[in-house]
Amino acid sequence: MKNNGGTQTPAGSPVGKAVNGSHPVNGANGANGANGANGANRPNGSNGAKAGAAAALQQRAADRDFQQAISGGLTAARRKFVIVAVFSLCANLLLLSLPIYLFQLSDRVYTSRSLDTLIMLSVVVVGAIGAYVFLDVIRRLILTRVAVETESRLGAPVLSAAAKAAQGGISRDFQTLGDLQQLRAFITGPVILMMLDAPVAPFYLLAVFLIHPHLGAIVTATGLALVVIGLINQKLTAVPFAQANTYAGRANLAADAMARNSQVINAMGMIPEGVQIWGRETAESLKAHVTAQDRNTYLAGISKMVRLSTQVAILGWGAWLALHDELTGGMVIAASIVASRALAPLEGTIEGWRGFVHARSAYARIKTLLQNSPLNLERLRLPNPAGRLTVERILYVPPPSKKVILNGVSFQLEPGESLAIVGTSGAGKSTLARMLVGSIAPTAGNVRLDWMDLRNWDPRQFGESVGYLPQDVQLFPASIKANIARMREDVSDAAIFEAAELADVHEMISQFAAGYETQVLIDGSPLSGGQKQRIGLARAFFGNPRLVVLDEPNSNLDAAGEMALARALTRAKDKKITIVAITQRPSLLQSVDRIMILKDGTAQAVGKREDIIPMLSGRPPGNGSVPPPPSTGNGPPRLDA
């Protein structure tokens, strides 16, 4: 076994290079290489102190240091990858003992007929194989842990960043969680092991060359042929595989839409249509998949042919060389074994290349999401706002359409003042509401809370100072209590009760058998539409917000509910909460200080309640500049009728 020791020594130096080149995460993240050594264990350590110092209501998992999450997670992963790579190299070198054994048998044992040599060689080779298996098991165990650690470290930051990125209404970023799973699957999959085995292939190739240069040339030629076939395979299958994925994604969206609208679908017998839409996308996906898979199979066949022919070529040419006394039979067989070991990682890498590319782009998406997240920016923690809302000439033109949705809207509200926004359907009321709570940013102009642009508030602090009731109220699948408390666990029951009192929903909640503990399901049951709206109102008022934006809070309310809402607005005024309420019904107008009429995205009139109401009801005051909307007699009175 002297040979073995000799091979290992020169192997020492290329290890580092080979490892860095081959493992994907490292390669993709060259930029973070410098801060490699430290902070691998507790990247969030410094955050702990910061969070502890923050005010009680604001102590929350700091979701800012994504940069650190990425680099910390990677550093830990990278160190383990280096270990795995070293293990892989050693394991593969140990595996060389098999051909060497064969070589020695034919060279020494057959010639010397020494039983002792046979026994000794066998013991050594069994030991080497045992060590190989041990190292192989260890490296797989480590990779599993790297994978789990990557997902657990990056999961929370990715979900936070995705939620933030989705605030404008595009939820594609939530798919990044899927990317994270893909990355984990790749790290635990077989391809990465093959890729880690690849750096040792040159040594095997060298061994074949040492046995006989002709045989080495055959193996080299095969290797090149396999690479070419692999490249052709990539070219021919990339497009159909991508198509298959796109269609499969659309089919999933269709199935999701069916799940969300299951009641509508069932009520109106729309199941066949839903299935048809899903089926169309699925069929396209499968078609593309078959095309890609067929091409893949053909090329895999060719590559198998090449590889098996190589075995024949080595054995055949080896036999010819043996006939000319240039080799022994044992050497030929040893060469064939070593050759297949040299080609296996190459083949595996080619086969798994697509997986590698996918994992790499998944990783790139994760990195982009985390690095570009607005949550990354540290913002000064200001004193909690008093609730002065300033809107300055906002213009909103969402990118693709170029349609002006809001144009030159301006107003200012002092703490405790309330404004009702009325206007026809599609006037831009909900858009304005979303802008007031920072969900969407104006194309031009500013929305300020206490003089500070919304974009510059710390998101958490801002969120706690604001209440928002969207037009389409959705509750979380949890208890009523948790929903009112905005899913927070670190709050007192008194705070929840206070919000329920303020929103005047305590009595309504008491009528449920389980009271505040009543579980709301994903579809909102057992709450009625109006009840959901009132729980949403309590949620908006939870935690003593300074600005509350209500988007048609009374659209599902009966007369009693409207009275409760009016009382809630009066109480909010006493607490100096600034209120913006969008409404289509006149009843709410009696409880506000000011009214704005929005038409086609422009404020037609803003003013005191007493001045605006006459315009709306068709009795223009002396100086009214806005013609009154025509009124109709049927249904509940609506301002946009």
Ligand X SMILES: Nc1ncnc2c1ncn2[C@@H]1O[C@H](COP(=O)(O)OP(=O)(O)OP(=O)(O)O)[C@@H](O)[C@H]1O
Site residues, ligand X (CB under 6 A): 398, 401, 403, 405, 423, 425-431, 471
446 touches 399 (CB < 8 A): no
Q: Compute the distance between CA of residue 152 and CA of residue 305 in angstroms, rounded to an integer.
A: 43
CB of 432 to ligand X, least distance (A): 7
The count of residues interacting with Mg ion (CB under 5 A) is 3
Contact range with Mg ion by CB under 5 A, out of 105-113, 390-398, 463-471, 602-610: 463-471
CA distances to 18, 44, 189 from 26, rounded to whole Å, are 12, 21, 17
Contact range with Mg ion by CB under 5 A, out of 342-350, 422-430, 492-500, 624-632: 422-430
CB of 430 to Mg ion, least distance (A): 3
Give the one residue of 430, 555, 587, 604 binding Mg ion; rule: CB under 5 A: 430
CB of 552 to ligand X, least distance (A): 7
CB nearer to ligand X: give 423 or 530: 423
Q: Compute the distance between CA of residue 337 and CA of residue 137 in angstroms, rounded to an integer.
A: 22
CB nearer to ligand X: give 111 or 401: 401
CB of 406 to ligand X, least distance (A): 8
Give the one residue of 471, 479, 518, 519 binding Mg ion; rule: CB under 5 A: 471
Contact range with Mg ion by CB under 5 A, out of 13-21, 42-50, 471-479, 531-539: 471-479
CB nearer to Mg ion: give 98 or 641: 641
Residue 109 binding result from ligand X, Mg ion, none, given CB thresholds of 5 to 8 Å by partner type:
none
CB nearer to Mg ion: give 139 or 429: 429
Q: Strand order of the sheet with strand 452-453?
A: 406-413, 389-396, 444-449, 452-453
CA distances to 328, 414, 419, 428, 593 from 431, rounded to whole Å, are 83, 22, 16, 5, 22
Which pair of tokens denotes residue 516?
A: 């505040």
Write b or e for each residue in 92-104: b if 16 or more Cβ atoms lie within 10 A of its Cβ, otherwise e: bbbbbbbbbbbbb
Residue 479 binding result from ligand X, Mg ion, none, given CB thresholds of 5 to 8 Å by partner type:
none
Residue 428 binding result from Mg ion, ligand X, none, given CB thresholds of 5 to 8 Å by partner type:
ligand X
Q: Compute the distance between CA of residue 589 and CA of residue 612 in angstroms, rounded to an integer.
A: 10
Residue 459 binding result from Mg ion, ligand X, none, given CB thresholds of 5 to 8 Å by partner type:
none
Residue 128: partners with Cβ closer than 8 Å, 6 or more residues away: 4, 94, 95, 97
CB of 639 to Mg ion, least distance (A): 13
CB nearer to ligand X: give 296 or 439: 439
CB of 50 to ligand X, least distance (A): 36
CB nearer to ligand X: give 84 or 406: 406
CB of 60 to ligand X, least distance (A): 29
Residue nearest to ligand X (CB): 430
22 touches 85 (CB < 8 A): yes
What are the DSSP calls for 227-248, one per residue?
HHHHHHHHHHHHHHHHHHHHHH
Torsion of CA 542, 543, 548, 549, to 10 degrees: -50
CB count in 10 Å sphere of residue 231? 12
Residues that bind Mg ion (CB under 5 A): 429-430, 471
